[in-house]
Structure formats: structure tokens, C-alpha cells
């Protein structure tokens, strides 16, 4: 089971298309105080919209309650406008 990226408010990200993430999979990285989308990239190009749903490919935040062997177990995550994982919860 993979965790879906339910919404992404990081409109400056090249993978964002009208609050939908168009990356095939993202990595949650950052630090304990601010777990962020490690896939965030700001370029002069946008990835076109796809029919495939984006998911969490890996999670580097071992202290998160949803992390099991570097995989996200949340049903889905939300990414804020600052590319922070809003679903992150310390175990």
C-alpha cells in the first residue's frame, strides 16, 4: 500500500498543477521540526497533468507515527504551501 498525496498547496513547485501533485512519487525529507517534501523543485517548467495519482515513495522522518521501515503508512498526506508535510505526527 502506498500513501497518496491528497493535496499540495506548494504552487511554486514544478510538480504542482492546480493543487494536485503530478510527481509519480515524492520523498518526505527535512527535519523533525519541519518535515518537507524533498521532491519540491522550482523550475521554469511544469510537469503536465497526469491521470496517475501521486504517492509517497519514501519517508526519511523516522520519528513520524506514520513511518514504518521508511514507508509512509498514512492513508494520504497533505503538503502545505511551504512544502511541509502537514500529516506528519511525532510518535
Reading the block at residue 27, the C-alpha cell is 520523498
pLDDT at residue 52, rounded to an integer: 85
Q: How far apart are CA 17 and CA 21, in angstroms?
A: 6
Q: What percent of the chain stands above pLDDT 70?
A: 100
pTM of the model: 0.90
Does the pLDDT value for residue 6 go beyond 80?
yes
- Tell me: pLDDT of 18 over 80: yes
Q: Kindly list the domain boundaries of the chain, sorted by start residue.
A: 1-91
Q: Are 28 and 88 in contact (CB under 8 A)?
A: yes
Residue whose grid cell is 504552487: 11
HSE at residue 5, side-chain half, CA atoms within 13 A, is 34
Q: pLDDT tens digits, residue range 47-73?
A: 888 888 899 999 999 999 999 999 999
Q: Greater confidence, 19 or 59?
A: 59
CA end-to-end distance (rounded Å), the chain: 20
Amino acid at each position: 500500500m502506498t500513501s497518496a498525496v491528497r493535496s499540495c498547496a506548494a504552487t511554486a513547485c514544478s510538480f504542482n498543477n492546480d493543487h494536485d501533485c503530478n510527481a509519480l512519487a515524492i520523498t518526505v525529507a527535512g527535519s523533525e521540526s519541519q518535515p518537507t517534501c524533498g521532491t519540491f523543485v522550482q523550475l521554469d517548467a511544469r510537469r503536465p497533468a497526469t491521470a496517475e495519482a501521486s504517492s509517497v515513495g519514501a519517508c526519511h522522518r523516522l520519528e513520524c507515527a506514520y513511518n514504518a521501515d521508511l514507508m509512509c503508512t498514512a492513508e494520504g498526506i497533505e503538503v502545505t504551501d511551504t512544502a511541509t508535510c502537514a500529516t506528519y505526527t511525532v510518535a
